[in-house]
Structure formats: C-alpha cells, structure tokens
C-alpha cells in the first residue's frame, strides 16, 4: 500500500471525527481503502510466516509454510 493511500485513510478518519463528518462517497472510499489496507497487512504477514523455519528437538528443520500446507491443505 502506498504512503498516499495511508495518508488518505488518516485524512478520512480525522474528517469523520469532525462535526460535519464524511459524505457518502467518502465513506465508500474509506471502506475501500481500509479493505485494501487490511489485505496488504495480511499479505505481508503471510509472506513473513511463510519464510519462518522451525527447528525440531531432533535437530531437523521444518519450513512453516510446508507444515501449514500439510496440516490444513492450503
């Protein structure tokens, strides 16, 4: 997500707290931007989790992504 989009999310939040509030179009924009932000955070977290390796007690190393796929099938 770009810095401009995050800045816009913050602008809309601040405006929503003012007495005039947001217009319906701005509310829609805010919901869309928040959805994109959440998707971006999830994608980044998934990338970090997929790169983790776990060392078992027997010394073997397991890729967390493979372990997750084996357990949950996705």
Confidence band of 69 (pLDDT split at 50, 70, 90)? confident
pLDDT of amino acid 74: 67
- pTM > 0.85: yes or no: no
Mean pLDDT of 35-64: 92
Alpha-carbon dihedral 49, 52, 56, 59, rounded to 10 degrees: 170
Q: What is the mean pLDDT of the chain?
A: 92
Q: What percent of the chain has pLDDT over 90?
A: 72
Judge whether residue 36 has pLDDT over 70: yes
C-alpha distances in angstroms, 39 versus 30, 52, 70? 14, 20, 24
CB 5 within 8 A of CB 37: yes
């Amino acid at each position: 997500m770009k810095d401009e989009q995050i800045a816009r999310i913050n602008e809309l939040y601040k405006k929503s707290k003012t007495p005039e509030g947001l217009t319906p179009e701005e509310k829609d924009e805010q919901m869309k931007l928040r959805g994109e932000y959440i998707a971006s955070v999830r994608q980044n977290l998934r990338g970090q989790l997929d790169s983790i390796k776990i060392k078992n007690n027997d010394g073997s190393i397991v890729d967390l992504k493979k372990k997750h796929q084996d357990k949950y099938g996705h």
